[in-house]
Structure 1
Amino acid sequence: MSTLKTPLIGLRADHFRHPLDLEATRALKQIPGLDLLVRNLLGSLAEQVFYLENIASSILVSDRQMPQLHTLLQEACQILDLEPPELYVRQNPVPNAYTFAIRGKQPFIVIHTSLLELLTPEETQAVIAHELGHLKCEHSVYLTLANLIILAAGQLPNLGGLLAQALQTQILEWVRCAEFTCDRAALLATQDPRVMMSTLMKLTGGSPSLVSQLNLEAFIDQARAYDQISLTEMGEMLKQAQTAARTHPVPVLRAREIDRWAGSQAYQTLLHHRSIQYNNEAKPVGGWRNW
């Protein structure tokens, strides 16, 4: 079944950036020299390493290679008003997707095959749009730093431990806040909160053999029930302890945030404002293909 969606021409990151992301980003920018360290000292080498790894061990998506995925990428970029990055598909049994861009050169997104096996085309586009959100908001510098700190802590116990003690808490807090923003980008691209929440449900406890037994309404109720834990001081402390060392917010919290934002006046106003403002300039993007 086809769904028409309106491109959000002129969309800027600040139109949908989550307040927690904005606050955490400002805090990181107060650390002297942090951007320069990653961009100038680490960026060039990291880009070359990742490019070689992708070309050697992944499939580059194009109009000639996995054209359905290429169409999903192009549509999401048109909606979010973003130049398309390269998209690679990599054989991996762990469902995951990630993005990389540091020095303004060609950014890329990688999606694991196991994730594609788990999701519908609509949900796959939500994942792609989530990664595009990182690019739209220029998150990649701090994402790279987060990965390097985690790696350093594991591979270089002394130096890494010192780095981790100084930056890990603040970096991980920022990463979790940035994920909320990128979930909003995914919602703007799909323009259907159920698609986004269904994606999170499958990433929480799904597998190809269990998909037919999953119930989205029950998962949404589960996400809403998560709020009840915060009604007590002990519950709120346990929630904070649970997430402190994570790179992503817990899935039910992400679903709850999307549930809230999709029902907010801010989200509805954004969609209405952009579609009205550019109604004479842009035509709706074609809907989903049947795979």
Structure 2
Amino acid sequence: MNTIRTAMLLAAMTALFMGVGFLIGGTGGMMIAFLFAAGTNLFSYWNADKMVLSMNRAVEVDERNAPEYYAIVQAMAKQAGLPMPKTYLIDNPQPNAFATGRNPQNAAVAASTGLLQALTPEEVAAVMAHELAHVQHRDTLTMTIVATFAGAISMLGNFAFFFSGNRDNNPFGFVGVLAAMIVAPFAAMVVQMAVSRTREYEADRRGAEICGHPLWLASALDKIARGAERIRNPDAERNPATAHLFIINPLHGERMDSLFSTHPATENRIAALQAMAQQMQGETQAAPRQASTPRQADQPRPSGPWGEAAQPEQPAEPAKPKSNPWGRNPTGPKGRWS
């Protein structure tokens, strides 16, 4: 199903790209746009993840320079049954995170320094579980290709000025150029229409299952949403077509892009997670009453990322805080986790 959805999305974006080319340069412009779209498709498949990481100036980290952050991603990947993704850190005070990559074997997750500073380790684990849910559902390929295509369409619209003088090849004249220029600002809206909001709800649900605690993710979403409202993300503002990749929309409220939200309302997502937590709690309370049934007794109990729920009779001693729990930020900012 995801393969069909991705193919349909690429066809729609290619048609839009060719339409913009026709408005600018007629048949010749449409053919050039088609060739450019075909090249963009191939390039996006192999390099869109690298482009998105570069746009956000993400730096790869490992267990040496970010030990606890890396360990959390590693634990969540193991819990989800996924290969260990590449782990990146973004030097940005706005709390946020995203995943990218064409498949689980070539996936990457990225978190901002602001997220690691604002959230508890449990909340960070829930956020990483959400991003790994996108990887598991193979949403990352679709999202990264859409981001690259939308950026290319915006660029083509900006080039309309340079082609506006050639009226011979443009059957619509200045009206066609103007239409192409109007299409570009709404490229982000096309992205938002193509990438369903239900994908975020599904990633929330699966992420809560991976970490074992829906309320961890609910608390994290609340903190990230409040932080995103207060703190600007200049890199995301320069590349609004990538906004749908993040767990919470990173764009500031005064931008036109906010009129066409890429994400469901945070309050609705939190409410869904709270309902999920109540359901899980009800199932947990009902289980002891059926413990005498051999089939129920043999079933494994749910476990969190560190296994507390699986072994309640032996609660783990809280680890002593380390002097540098998240590891030194390779990009250099100073903070309470640096």
Q: Same fold (TM over 0.5)?
A: yes
> How much identity, in percent, do the aligned residues show?
22
Q: CA 1:275–1:107 in 2, change beyond 3 Å: closer, same or farther?
A: farther
Give me the CA root mean square deviation: 4.3
Query: Which residue number corresponds to residue 87 of structure 1?
Result: 87
Could you tell me how far 1:145 is from its partner in structure 2?
3.3
Could you tell me how far 1:268 is from its partner in structure 2?
5.0
The answer to whether the 8 A contact 1:152-1:160 is kept is no
- The higher radius of gyration belongs to 2
Instruction: Tell me the TM-score normalised to structure 2 length.
Output: 0.54
- How many residues were matched structurally? 227
Query: Would you say 1:109 and 2:109 are equivalent positions?
Result: yes
Measure, in 1, the Cα distance between the counterparts of 2:305 and 2:104: 30
Query: Which residue number corresponds to residue 274 of structure 2?
Result: 259
3-state SS in 1 of match to 2:93: coil
Q: CA 1:42–1:57 in 2, change beyond 3 Å: closer, same or farther?
A: closer
Query: Which residue number corresponds to residue 195 of structure 1?
Result: 216
Instruction: Tell me the TM-score normalised to structure 1 length.
Output: 0.62
Measure, in 1, the Cα distance between the counterparts of 2:74 and 2:297: 19
Q: What one-letter code is carried by the residue in structure 2 that aligns with 1:129?
A: A
Query: Which residue number corresponds to residue 219 of structure 1?
Result: none
Measure, in 1, the Cα distance between the counterparts of 2:140 and 2:64: 28
Measure, in 1, the Cα distance between the counterparts of 2:131 and 2:43: 24
Match of 1:31 among 2, 5, 8: 8
**Equivalent residue runs for 1:1-291 within 5 Å:** 28=5, 31=8, 34=11, 40-49=42-51, 53=54, 57-102=57-102, 106-152=106-152, 154-157=154-157, 158=180, 161=183, 164=187, 167-168=190-191, 170-172=193-195, 174=196, 176-206=197-227, 245-264=260-279, 285-286=306-307, 289=319, 290=321, 291=325
3-state SS in 1 of match to 2:109: strand
Structure 1: runs of 5+ lacking an equivalent: 1-21, 208-241
Measure, in 2, the Cα distance between the counterparts of 1:148 and 1:284: 34
Q: CA 1:110–1:275 in 2, change beyond 3 Å: closer, same or farther?
A: farther
3-state SS in 1 of match to 2:8: coil
Q: CA 1:274–1:127 in 2, change beyond 3 Å: closer, same or farther?
A: farther
Higher relative contact order (CA 8 A, sep 6+): 1
Q: CA 1:39–1:127 in 2, change beyond 3 Å: closer, same or farther?
A: farther
Q: Deviations over 1:27-50 (max 9, x none)?
A: 835728649977634222334545
Q: What one-letter code is carried by the residue in structure 2 that aligns with 1:263?
A: Q
More off after superposition, 38-47 vs 111-120: 38-47
Q: Deviations over 1:187-241 (max 9, x none)?
A: 113322221111111122259xxxxxxxxxxxxxxxxxxxxxxxxxxxxxxxxxx
Measure, in 2, the Cα distance between the counterparts of 1:62 and 1:189: 22
